[in-house]
């Protein structure tokens, strides 16, 4: 296992910002992963496991520890029944290639999550979701190395504590587990309406009435290409903010001033309000702050146009968070994790 020193992390994260890693290594087997983790722990070196870098923000001082790039590959069918196919996916696999593969097998379950950048192992960390599907819907279990206990463990959906763009891996267990593989149960049954509004609209305008995983994938890829900037050309992390979750009384109060405020009922008197809409109302959509552009097609996305430091990003974030707070008295939360 080769360990490199003083590696600029900005080349490994899609926001293209931030300082160096003191050490960096690639692992391509669970055994190598275990070894790298154990070595770091024994030497008292801090650890960070990096996937595709599409949901990670790096600080200007970089990371004074070991960054492990998870390159563990694998795609294995564990079980096949007439109704379901269960697959185990190596954490280092490119997520979209996995989606493509399951779509080619004509399986339903993750096709609406086409085009999400990053690795399969990162998918459970923020319980990725798009166009009406989220990882938790098909998730069976994952294998991970428990860095604290120095042992391989299997965690089911309950153990992972999934909720909207959240899991234990971003909270109480942050830094504890290195994900090795993810097991999903997909369906043979064709996808059925109702579809996410934007997808249905695409079907209507294209006269599509026969629904297969492939047509959903194609629709989602087309919608995404129009709304979300390609991180390879315009550095970004997808949605930079989570949608806001507010209480009924807050919604009632806000709708007195903003009668058209969109909100999705989550039950138990809680509502999800699209943060893109909130930002748009502040007038910031499309504007540039400290080299960071608030995307003109989706205000939830921040694009690094000419920022040169984390400090620039942080200042731009403050402009957006502050404007939403001043206008709506809602404090919006960041989606990508910080290293």
* Radius of gyration of the chain from its Cα atoms, rounded to whole angstroms: 20
Angstrom distance (rounded) from CA 196 to CA 78: 30
The catalytic position among 181, 239, 293, 317 is 239
Binding residues among 155-184 for ligand EPU as defined by CB under 6 A: 165
What angle is formed at CA 276 by the lines to CA 273 and CA 282, rounded to 5 degrees?
100
137 in contact with ligand EPU (CB under 6 A): no
- DSSP assignments along 111-172, one per residue: GGGTT--SBGGGTTTTT-EETTEEGGGTEEEEEEEETTTTEEEEEEHHHHT-BTTB-GGGTT
Could you say which of 130, 147, 179, 284 contacts ligand EPU (CB under 6 A)? 130
Per-position x/- string for 275-314, each x denoting binding to ligand EPU as judged by CB under 6 A, each - no binding? -xx--x----x------------xxx--------------
Instruction: Please state the separation of Cα 161 from the chain's center in Å.
Output: 16
Nearest distance in Å: CB 40, ligand EPU: 29
115 binds ligand EPU (CB under 6 A): no
- Exactly one of 14, 25, 183, 239 binds ligand EPU (CB under 6 A); which one? 239
| Contact (CB, 8 A) for 139 and 162 | yes
Which class for 29: exposed (0-12), middle (13-18), buried (19 or more C-beta within 10 A)? middle
Position 25 contacts ligand EPU (CB under 6 A): no
Is 163 one of the catalytic residues?
Answer: no
What is the x/- site pattern for ligand EPU, positions 194-213, by CB under 6 A? --x-x---------------
Among the listed ranges 72-80, 185-193, 235-243, 249-257, the one in contact with ligand EPU (CB under 6 A) is 235-243
The Cα 335–Cα 320 span in angstroms is 14
Residues with Cβ < 8 Å from 325, sequence gap 6 or more? 331, 332
Active-site residue, from 165, 217, 224, 317: 165
Q: Is the peptide bond before 194 cis (omega within 30 degrees of 0)?
A: yes
Binding-site member from 242, 258, 325, 330 for ligand EPU (CB under 6 A)? 242
Is 69 an annotated catalytic residue? no
- Annotated active-site residue 239? The verdict is yes
Q: Show which residues are catalytic.
A: 165, 239, 335
Rule CB under 6 A: which residues touch ligand EPU? 130-131, 165, 196, 198, 228, 238-239, 242-243, 262, 274, 276-277, 280, 285, 298-300, 335
């Amino acid at each position: 296992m080769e360990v490199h020193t003083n590696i600029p992390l900005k080349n490994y994260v899609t926001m293209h910002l931030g300082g160096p890693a003191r050490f960096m290594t690639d692992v391509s087997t669970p055994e190598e992963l275990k070894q790298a983790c154990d070595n770091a722990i024994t030497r008292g070196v801090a650890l960070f496991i990096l996937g595709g870098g599409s949901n990670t923000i790096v600080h200007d001082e970089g990371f004074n520890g070991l960054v492990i790039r998870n390159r563990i590959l694998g795609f294995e069918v564990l079980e096949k029944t007439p109704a379901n196919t269960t697959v185990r996916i190596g954490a280092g696999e490119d997520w979209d290639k996995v989606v493509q593969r399951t779509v080619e097998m004509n399986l339903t379950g993750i096709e609406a999550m086409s085009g999400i950048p990053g690795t399969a192992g990162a998918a459970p960390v923020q319980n990725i979701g798009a166009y009406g599907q989220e990882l938790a819907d098909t998730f069976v279990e994952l294998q991970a190395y428990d860095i604290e206990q120095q042992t391989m463990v299997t965690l089911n959906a309950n153990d992972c504590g999934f909720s909207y763009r959240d899991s234990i891996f971003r909270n109480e267990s942050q830094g504890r587990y290195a994900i090795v593989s993810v097991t999903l149960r997909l369906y043979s049954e064709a996808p059925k309406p109702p579809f996410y509004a934007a997808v249905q609209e695409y079907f209507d305008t294209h006269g599509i009435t026969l629904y297969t995983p492939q047509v959903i994938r194609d629709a989602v890829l087309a919608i995404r290409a129009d709304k979300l900037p390609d991180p390879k050309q315009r550095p970004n992390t997808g949605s930079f903010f989570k949608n806001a979750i507010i209480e009924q009384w807050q919604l009632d109060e806000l709708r007195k001033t903003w009668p058209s405020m969109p909100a999705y009922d989550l039950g138990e008197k809680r509502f999800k309000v699209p943060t893109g809409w909130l930002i748009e109302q502040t007038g910031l959509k499309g504007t540039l702050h400290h080299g960071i552009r608030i995307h003109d097609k989706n205000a939830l996305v921040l694009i690094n146009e000419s920022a040169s430091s984390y400090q620039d990003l942080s200042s731009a974030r403050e402009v957006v968070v502050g404007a939403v707070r001043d206008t709506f008295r809602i404090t919006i939360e960041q989606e990508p994790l910080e290293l």
